[in-house]
Structure 1
Amino acid sequence: MKKNILIVDDFEISRNLLDKLLTKAGCLVMSAEDGVDAQTYLDGRCFDLIITDLNMPNMDGIELVKVIRAHAIYRYIPVIMLSTKSNQDRPAIEAGVTVFIQKPFQVETLLASVKKIVRC
């Protein structure tokens, strides 16, 4: 069974790259531009994993994670956060992020984390 993954990133090139990598790995992927857009995708859908950038307009990744963790339906969805800011790992983990990966990252590192979490 293919796993459903939501990618949240304001940078279209990053979304497209992640989409291609994860689709090739056998996952079903949806993409959102920021945290506000991601909330519309969450409404009525079930995701096995959310991969989000930290720095985005309208609602950043940490605020998105707080929203996710506040809802009983979504609170147990694993979240991988990607960021160029290495000093944001602690606030991200405290907000409820499952895995924090610093950009730039090795593709193998991301795929290993995804496969460990959702086994796609």
Structure 2
Amino acid sequence: MAFRILVVDDNKISRETVQTLLVDAGWLVDGVDNAIQALANINHTDYDLVITGYYMPVIDGPHLTGLIKTRHDSADLPVIMLSTRSEADVAAAMDMQLLSMFLRKPLNCDAKRQLLDHISTLIVATSGKAA
């Protein structure tokens, strides 16, 4: 079974890099460039995971994460955040317990491998689907 993942990042290169990585791993991936589009997609599509950037116009990644987690229909949806900011900086701006994973951009080979390895575990743990 293929997992459906939503990638949210206003940086087209970052978004497309992550999308390609995930598609090559066999997952179904949708990409949007802002949080408003992400919330609309979440209303209409059953995602297994959301990967978001930190900096985005209008609604940033921390606020998007909070909105996802406060909705009854998506409260258990795993969210991974990718950011050029340090983990300590992100932790100062949001509750890190809302995130399933944080990785610093740009993603090197080890970080990409860690992301791919972690995604299956996250999805299986939260949805009960077999990897």
TM-based fold match above 0.5? yes
Give 5+ residue unaligned stretches, structure 1: none
Give 5+ residue unaligned stretches, structure 2: 125-130
Q: Which moved more, 1:19-28 or 1:109-118?
A: 109-118
Identity across matched positions, percent: 33
Per-residue deviation, residues 51-94 of structure 1 (Å, max 9, x unmatched): 00011111100100111011110010000000111121352514
Amino acid at match of 1:116: T
Could you tell me how far apart the structure 2 residues matched to 1:23 and 1:2 are?
10
Q: Is 2:100–2:122's contact at 8 Å kept on the other side of the alignment?
A: no
**What does residue 89 of structure 1 align with?**
91
Please tell me whether Structure 1 or Structure 2 has the larger radius of gyration of its CA atoms.
Answer: 2
Q: Secondary structure at the match of 1:43?
A: helix
Amino acid at match of 2:78: P
Alpha-carbon distance change, 116 to 88 in structure 1, aligned in 2, over 3 angstroms? same
- Within-5 A mapping of 1:1-120: 1-86=1-86, 87-89=89-91, 91-94=94-97, 96-105=98-107, 106-118=111-123
Runs of 4+ in structure 1 over 3 Å off: none
Q: CA deviation at 1:32?
A: 1.1
Q: CA deviation at 1:118?
A: 2.4
RMSD value over aligned CA atoms? Answer: 1.5
Q: CA deviation at 1:97?
A: 1.3
Q: Is 1:81–1:92's contact at 8 Å kept on the other side of the alignment?
A: no
Q: CA deviation at 1:102?
A: 1.2
Q: Is 1:89–1:100's contact at 8 Å kept on the other side of the alignment?
A: no
Q: Is 1:3–1:27's contact at 8 Å kept on the other side of the alignment?
A: yes
